[in-house]
Amino acid sequence: MAARDSKAAESTPGYFRARVAGVEQISPSLIRVHFDGPGLAGFPSTGVPDESIRLYFPRDGEVEPPPMTVRDGVLGHHDDDDARECRTYTVRHWQQERLSIDFVTHGDGVASLWAAAARVGDMLGIWGVRSWYAPPADTAWQLLVADLPGLPALMRALERLEEGERAHAIVEVAHADDRVDVVTKGDVTIDWRVAGNGRASSELADAVRAYALPDGPGYAWFAGEAAAGREIRKHLRNTCAMPVGRMSIIGYWRADKEQWLERYAPLEDRLLVEYDELVSSGVDETAAEIHWDEMLERAGL
């Protein structure tokens, strides 16, 4: 989430070293990288479907990023010469000290380029665990929506459904062959769309508006491009009257990131003060995320 990570509720379990154990191309747009190594032995997986971690990448010529250090109670790369670029990614699988992450390969970002060239033995740094997916206990159905960056978390959520649990998924991929199979005990329908993902106009908001929400208490979760998420959030809140506590709308990326950051920079201090006041009032994490996006929209962002 651009410009908000510093305000997110995170655990700080430490800094983990991860070694590439295998690489597989699972679709035209997705590369799955498997990690192992003794550095992952203490990784504190929460098991929540959209748990995410920060990945730190080595520079050209480095075997791995340098370790982080604690200074004034803060874990990080405190020397500008040591600081490394990081990106937030969803855990696709975690089992017996083996971690798998799916990377979207189109684009020229640091993570995509690294994954495309990854080889067994390469090393990454990992820090932090956080998540958003939290259906209330009385949830009778779920609406799960994602584009390619959100697809790993969505698939993990479907895989964990139990018999009798209902979910409708709307997924936007770049190529028809990006559609992947899911094994689940739940009662699941999937609406696949080949659109969006920085290659074409998104159809996600229109697909959500066209979907008739089932009767009974539900839960909606979105992970993908921020503008599409905003349209979905507004529809669920304003048209469907869905309570804030029954939705998690997370903008994983922005199609207009550079221009957005330019507009955001002069407003950042004021917005973060307003957000801190909101959190201090006792609003929970899920509701705070929704209100944060509404604050951004009122500010013209």
Q: Is the pLDDT of residue 239 over 60?
A: yes
Segment 74-95 shows an average pLDDT of 78
Give Cα 138 to chain centroid, integer Å.
24
**Residue 71 above 90 pLDDT?**
no
Averaged pLDDT for residues 15-34: 92
pLDDT for the residue 271:
92
Would the pLDDT of 13 be above 60? no
pLDDT of amino acid 12? 44
CA-CA distance, 87 to 92, in Å (whole number)?
A: 15
Share of the chain above pLDDT 90, in %: 57
pLDDT at 148 over 60: yes
Average pLDDT over residues 14-20: 85
Among residues of the chain, what percentage have pLDDT more than 70? 92
Superfamily of domain 5-130, CATH level 4? Translation factors (2.40.30.10)
Over the stretch 244-288, which tens digit does the pLDDT of each residue have?
A: 999 999 999 998 888 999 999 999 999 999 888 888 888 877 788
149-188 pLDDT, tens per residue? 999 999 999 999 999 999 999 999 999 999 999 999 999 9
| pLDDT recorded at residue 78 | 62
**Quick one: pLDDT band at residue 3, thresholds 50, 70, 90?**
very low
CB 147 within 8 A of CB 30: no
On average, the pLDDT of the chain sits at 87
What pLDDT does 218 receive? 97
CATH 3.40.50.80 domain range(s) in the chain: 141-255
Q: Name the amino acid, one letter, at 143.
A: L
- Whether pLDDT at 87 is above 80: yes
CATH 2.40.30.10 segments of the chain? 5-130
Given pLDDT bands bounded at 50, 70 and 90, which one contains residue 135?
A: very high
The confidence score (pLDDT) of residue 80 equals: 63
Q: Which of 203, 2, 221 is nearest to 133 (CA)?
A: 221
Residue 282 — left, alpha, or beta (φ > 0 → left; ψ -120 to 50 → alpha)?
A: left
Residue with tokens 């229109």: 206
Residue 222 has pLDDT above 80, yes or no: yes
- Is domain 141-255 given the CATH code 3.40.50.300 in the classification? no
Question: What's the angle, vertex CA 145, arms to CA 144 and CA 148, rounded to 5?
Answer: 125
Query: Average pLDDT, stretch 26-35?
Result: 95
